[in-house]
Amino acid sequence: MDKNLSNKINELFGKVDNKILAAKLNSALQTLKTSDPEELSKKINKTDKNEIMKKLNELDENGMQELSKNFGNIKNNVSETDLRKLEKALGNDSDEIMKKIHEFLDT
C-alpha cells in the first residue's frame, strides 16, 4: 500500500476515534454532573477498574496532548466538585485512576 495513502487512512481513523472518545467523555461528564453519588457509585462498581486503567494507560503523552487540544471544553466543564464526587464514587481504587485523570486535565 502506498505510504501516503496508509498515513491518510491512519489520520482519518485517528480523527474518528477522537470524535467517538469526545462523545463518550461528554456522556460520562453529563452522567457525573447529573447522577446522585449513590447511583454513580453503583455504576462505577459495575465497571472493571482494571479496564479503566488500561484505557487511561493507552493514552500516551502525545495522545493526552492531542486530546487536550481537542477537548478543552470538556476540561473547562469539569469542576473540583465533579472530581471529588468521582473520587468518592470510585472508592478504594480511586488513587491511581484519579491521578491519571488529573494528568489528563493538567495537560
Over 70: is that where the pLDDT of 17 sits?
no
Q: How large is the average pLDDT for residues 5-19?
A: 62
Over 60: is that where the pLDDT of 61 sits?
no
> How many domains does the structure of the chain reveal?
1
- Considering all CA atoms of the chain, what is the largest pairwise distance in Å, rounded to the nearest integer? 53
92: alpha, beta or left, given left = phi > 0 and alpha = psi -120 to 50? alpha
Q: How large is the average pLDDT for residues 57-76?
A: 66
Q: How large is the average pLDDT for residues 84-101?
A: 85
Q: How large is the average pLDDT for residues 57-69?
A: 64
* Mean pLDDT, the chain, whole residue set: 75
Instruction: State the residue range of the domain holding 38.
Output: 3-106
Q: How large is the average pLDDT for residues 48-59?
A: 77
pLDDT of residue 13: 59
Instruction: Note whether 67 and 59 are within 8 A (CB).
Output: yes
pLDDT of residue 3: 64
Instruction: Please enumerate in sequence order all residues whose Cβ is within 8 A of that of 35, keeping only pairs 6 or more positions apart, or say none.
Output: 43
Over 60: is that where the pLDDT of 33 sits?
yes
